[in-house]
Structure 1
Amino acid sequence: MSAKFSLDDDSVVVIVGSGAGGGTLADELTKRGVNVVILEAGKHYTQADFENDEWAMFKKISWLDKRISAGGWHHTETYPNLPAWIVKGVGGSTMHFSGLALRFLPHDFKTRSTYGEVKGANVIDWPISYEELAPYYDIAERKMGVAGTKASGLPEMPPNNHYKVIAAGARKVGYKDISRPVASNTRVNDGRPACQQIGFCMQGCKIGAKWSTLYSEIPRAIETGRAELRPQSMVLKIEHDKSGKVSGVLYADKDGRQHLQKARVVCVAGNSIESPRLLLNSASSMFPNGLANSSGQVGKNYMNHTTAAAIAIHKGPVYMYRGFDIAAVISDEAQLNPDRGFLGGYHLEGLALHLPFTAAFMKPGGWGREVTSALEQYDHMSCVWVCGEDMPQEENGITLHPTEKDQYGLPIPIVTKTDHTNDAAMRRHGLAQWRKVSEAVGATRVIDMPPYPASHNMGTNRMSANARDGVLNKWGQAHDIKNLFVSDGSQFTSSSAANPTLTIVALAVRQAEYIAGAMQRREL
């Protein structure tokens, strides 16, 4: 049964956002006896609202409030108002994510120690190690039901034809690390059914086999009687007291009325664009540059993975759209090997696109025989998404528009991104390797596509051992304000080549443990 907390109740933990970080945090805190108020900007959708239709669901659940793509990246031209493809709704982007749940590698937490100084990049080590996070990865894999992992005990997702085609090509060129660790049930688990291979995984799982905080963590938190969920509640500003501790959050409800919810602790989990935007919008005379920003690093070091996409057309039908959307994932190139001409690594992720998205992403704004001749052979296609480490650069980041405001009266965010030379070299290598994999199984044509907006947003409120280098300490706690936490991918210090969701969940479990303990000890 849902709790109901007073606006004046300053004993609660307020969580801003309900996705992988916020939803997990709510579940873990309530389990430990902590009362929470979850403020979510978007609507509360249910599985009855999900449609097996790419464009219908894109329009229904995506965060489409105005944003501006700036800088030297492709989106400035191809997607000027859609720098990221994320969700506005209860459950956040766990509704839309593909389900791929990869762990960071040990070196990903020690990039400065591993790579040394990287010209043009702002590389530092995380203040935690892989070894410290490993037990929480186990918990996250169990919570999410990651098929094929020891922690979950769930068998691997059965291979569909798309998987078989990519895996065959990968083995022919000598790749060996081919897998598919996906957060979707392969048998009944955690009160959710087994995957029925419907294939619209990124449109919200209609039957709830794919993990999402929408129907896993958040209902569980509410059932404890210690959580109140307030959808369509856009947080405008975080307030603080005279001592500098945060004291509550100001938000607008669905009718535009403003409310101030008091808080003992505030946890910001609004994604790597909205979280720094909120901290910057919360500037005051005590914090003139924004909350938690004594380092000047809030909004800086934005990363979204080095990505590329391509399709291959084969002699026979592949039917990539049949079955779970993630096919074979080739991880051999995620290992360190600077001889390739770049630092870090990448995964080649088989990712099925349905016909509408294939048509839209192949050549944005273009048409003609080049496109139509490919689309005629849609059922013969295989598809890849190259997902590689993105170097943090201080000038890449989130800033507030000087004049333009959104429907809430807040300055709209400008997302500035320019490739590092390392990113460009990795992208070229990944596309060349995909071509080899495809041609090894007889592909007749390979078409490189411009990268489309990703859901992988990281950095902008990064962890750092030294307060001058970042925004948060090793618990995701602001260096400047001890009862302010960040609980999403914006706390990442490096991006790795792995999709971020599993790591966000692992960090949220660890953070909840710390917050509950600190509250009990009266340190918060």
Structure 2
Amino acid sequence: MPAKSYKTSEEVDFVIVGSGAAGGVLARELSQAGHSVVVMERGPYLKQGDFHHDELAYWFANELMQANGVPPQSFRHSADEETDFHPDYPNMLYAQCVGGSTVHFTANYWRFHPVDFQEHTVHGDIPGAALADWPISYEELEPYYTQVEWEIGVSGLAGAHPNEPHRSKPYPMPPLPVKSSGVLFEKGAFELGLNPFPAPMAINSVPYDGRAACVHCGFCMGFGCEMGAKSSTLSNMIPQAEATGVCEIRTGANVVRVDTNKQGRATGVVYYDLQGRQHLQKAKAVVLSANGAETARLLFLSENSRFADGLANSSGIVGRHMMFNGGGTAGAFFEHPLNEYKSVQVTRISHDFYDTDPERGFYGGGGIDGRVMWSPIAYAVIGGMPGDPGWGPKHKDYLRQYSHFMYSSTHSTSLPVASNRVELDPEHMDSYGLPGIRLTYTDHADDLATTSFLVDRAAEILEAAGAQTVWKDPVRPQSFTAHLLGTCRMGNDPATSVVDKYHRTHDVPNLFICDGSSLVTSGRGQPTQTIQALAFRAAEHISRFAKNGEI
């Protein structure tokens, strides 16, 4: 079937901005429900054969994060701090291509737990944070978590951890084979009385849904999968959306504004094509799925006389409450070669410290895993033990240990803080003369305490596993992330949230937002499965609204 192509003058049912974790799901679901859909994607439409193992291209030249019109990013830890701007090294790491960051992600797939949806009820107020309950519960989202696992494709073992939340079905695929880091992580965790279990991964352990099984090449984090075994929306949702015959994937489309009429309704999106020509794609409804930074920026760029501070921003909280997820690492060398460069990043994890324990003195919790972290060149250039200057005899000794090396990585909470925010950058403009993104972010003290606690536990696991050398990387305030969450949070109260529980903006009835920006809290590590579960749920309700004339 030839690819669908709509004229910009045709008023389609939905225009979706972004084709990543949420946008890809929404495109598939809405088009399969019979709605006409145009997906706007700034980047190119890459195929499996376009991906390669060039570390310099992907890790250092940011090949997957480059596209026409990508806004510049600047960063500061507080409003009192001078802005840091390094155009070649973005602080927010997201791919620019069909499939978005599901193309280059590590593919860790955790469900949030019930407590993650009722943090304020359980924990109360935390000074300096804007903790809130979600307008939906885990039980409401559980069927959609299951839908993600079966329709996106997730490998794992149900019931493998004693505090796993309720699930209605097992995983569709068995866990991926355990690798050396998993064996050692498991050994150390068992020695300490913990409960390690096979890591749920959105990577095929066996052929699934017409896609190949993983061949264990080792190039997952930061790379596209040439086998199609990684369950990106590029490999599953997008082709299925196109197969309906009513969905167009429009690449090279840099959306810069949501167009609205005098009644305050969205009428479509304004975008630039690769030739720099401006167009208006008309639509009955607009869905923003551009990520927690880009969606907020687009709302600010769409200000008008009705919304002087940004479209759908009567609450004044668009762009606020940015959350990263906390994270830290402990490293180790072992006597025997581990050859960790092979296979997927993670095969064993622990959620023994997921829940809050008041005796620890802080609110947060999270998970710990065993992994490789660095591919060879990145290991040499970015890696290093504390005190290693990156050159000289000490660094050479470090390089010789590559095959004997593994990390234990921690993943944890990130409290929503109002001053952690995305704004339009008054100094740095994109290629169209529009403001870039200024990110202000510093970790809440509770988040740093959580990370320090988990890194200590990670080091203990490595020591119990028999490592010859163990070190803990310093825990510092974060300045970069691939998790962009919370800037257009869900809620029932229009004064304290941007979208309702169905992802409809409180202010504009035919404008929906569904991506990481919708999250109310960060969970304790890996948000992608929750983002996609929300997208499956949102699509169901949005389609119902459309068919009932309620948009």
Tell me the TM-score normalised to structure 1 length: 0.96
1:330-385 alpha-carbon deviations (Å, 9 max, x no partner)? 11111221222221311113232212222343359942344332222011111132
What root-mean-square deviation, in Å, do the aligned CA atoms of Structure 1 and Structure 2 show?
A: 2.1
Contact 2:409 2:458 in 1 (8 A): no
Deviates more, 1:253-262 or 1:373-382: 373-382
Q: Distance in 2 between matches of 1:349 and 1:77?
A: 32
How many corresponding residue pairs? Answer: 524
Partner of 2:301: 281
Closer/same/farther in 2, CA of residues 269 and 212 from structure 1, 3 Å limit:
same
Report deviation, 1:65: 4.6
Aligned partner (choices 106, 119, 122) of residue 114 of structure 2: 106
Partner of 1:361: 382
Report deviation, 1:232: 1.1
Report deviation, 1:445: 2.1
Contact 1:103 1:498 in 2 (8 A): no
Deviating 4+ runs (over 6 angstroms): 73-80
1:300-320 alpha-carbon deviations (Å, 9 max, x no partner)? 000010111232111221111
Closer/same/farther in 2, CA of residues 129 and 75 from structure 1, 3 Å limit:
farther
Partner of 2:95: 87
Q: Within 5 Å, give how 1:347-496 maps onto structure 2.
A: 347-352=367-372, 353-362=374-383, 366-368=389-391, 369-449=393-473, 453-496=480-523
Contact 1:311 1:382 in 2 (8 A): yes
Tell me the TM-score normalised to structure 2 length: 0.91
Report deviation, 1:208: 0.6
1:53-98 alpha-carbon deviations (Å, 9 max, x no partner)? 3332232102575201211599987978522221011100000111
Report deviation, 1:454: 2.7
Q: Distance in 2 between matches of 1:340 and 1:222?
A: 50
Partner of 2:239: 219
1:262-318 alpha-carbon deviations (Å, 9 max, x no partner)? 111111011111010000110011110101100001000000101112321112211
Deviates more, 1:242-251 or 1:439-448: 439-448
Letter in 2 for 1:231: T
1:231-285 alpha-carbon deviations (Å, 9 max, x no partner)? 1111000010111011110000111111000111111011111010000110011
Deviates more, 1:210-219 or 1:390-399: 210-219
Q: Distance in 2 between matches of 1:7 and 1:151?
A: 44
**Aligned pair 1:341/2:341, yes or no?**
no
Aligned partner (choices 136, 157, 165) of residue 128 of structure 1: 136
Partner of 1:147: 155
**Aligned pair 1:159/2:182, yes or no?**
no
Aligned partner (choices 226, 233, 238) of residue 258 of structure 2: 238
Identity %: 37
Letter in 2 for 1:521: N
Q: Within 5 Å, give how 1:286-297 maps onto structure 2.
A: 286-297=306-317
Letter in 2 for 1:347: G
Letter in 1 for 2:533: A
Partner of 2:64: 61
**Aligned pair 1:27/2:51, yes or no?**
no
1:371-430 alpha-carbon deviations (Å, 9 max, x no partner)? 332222011111132110100000001011113211122101011111111011011111
Contact 1:293 1:480 in 2 (8 A): yes
* Alignment gaps of 5+ in structure 2: 159-168
* Structure ranking higher in helix proportion: 1
Closer/same/farther in 2, CA of residues 421 and 79 from structure 1, 3 Å limit:
farther
Q: Distance in 2 between matches of 1:250 and 1:396?
A: 28
Deviates more, 1:1-10 or 1:375-384: 1-10
Closer/same/farther in 2, CA of residues 300 and 370 from structure 1, 3 Å limit:
farther
1:111-155 alpha-carbon deviations (Å, 9 max, x no partner)? 111110010001111111101000110101111211125444211
Letter in 1 for 2:380: A
